[in-house]
Copies of this chain bind each other. A is one copy, B any other.
């Protein structure tokens, strides 16, 4: 039975950005299938195909473990053979923990992600094969794939559960098209202070410190001022935070509530 209750069109639509299908071959525990569905949706993957799920389908434990990833669970398609499950695909990876001594290209998740994005951009439909929990894919399934996908892990402890393998591969795929800045300063509702506001604070602080003779002796003052300005500049404060700093100086001088 290459059973389906969804047309080919709706399946193609289901993959946003040409997302690859995830194909689980001989999965055992329904709970693991559910956790796979959750990990998939975390990464924007929605198309799940099952080859001979041991405990049948639908599966209540899968529904529970999916933690709300229902659009994945409800779209599941069942197949009797791996060949049937990948028949419509043009580019397939077989995920394995270790090379099997075959002459076969082996790629990392990040490399597979790049290749999958290229395949999708060219209108090709792709898939990711995962084997059963304990044993992984059999060699006859691996030879059906264009390449082996292997997740680099601590070689002394490389056993991943099924959902974690799907998560790492899926997340590499997600990140390949994610444009989150690697590092940014989250400002909430605030705006960064202008340099004029900053320099105004610097002058204010230095005047207060001059009053208290903190910046003595005079020959050391230029360097001390430079260090202080660098120190406070590193805060990269918002406008509101510059006002807070002014308030702190006033307070420490015993003039809180008076003029700035």
Binding site for B on A (CB under 8 A): 39, 41-44, 67-69, 99, 101-108, 110-111, 147-148, 151-154, 156-160, 163-164, 167-168, 171, 174-175, 178, 180-190, 237-238, 241
Contact = CB atoms under 8 A, between A and B. Distances in A.
Contacts of A182: 107-108, 110-111
* Residue from A99, A102, A154, A158 with most neighbouring chain B CB atoms (10 Å): A154
Nearest to A158: B42
29 contacts: A41-B157, A42-B153, A42-B159, A42-B160, A43-B154, A67-B159, A68-B157, A99-B186, A101-B186, A101-B188, A102-B188, A103-B185, A103-B186, A103-B187, A103-B238, A104-B185, A106-B183, A106-B184, A106-B186, A107-B182, A108-B180, A108-B182, A108-B183, A110-B175, A110-B182, A111-B182, A152-B178, A164-B164, A167-B168
* Residue from A108, A157, A180 with most neighbouring chain B CB atoms (10 Å): A157
A159 B67 CA distance: 9
Nearest to A184: B106
B154 A41 contact: yes
A105 B42 contact: no
Nearest to A188: B101
Closest 10 CB pairs of A and B: A111-B182, A101-B188, A44-B154, A41-B157, A152-B180, A107-B183, A152-B178, A106-B186, A99-B186, A111-B183
Contacts of A43: 153-154
Given A174-B154, A175-B110, A175-B152, A105 B183 contact: yes
Contacts of A187: 103
A188 B174 CA distance: 31
A138 to B, nearest CB: 17
B42 A148 contact: no
A231 to B, nearest CB: 16
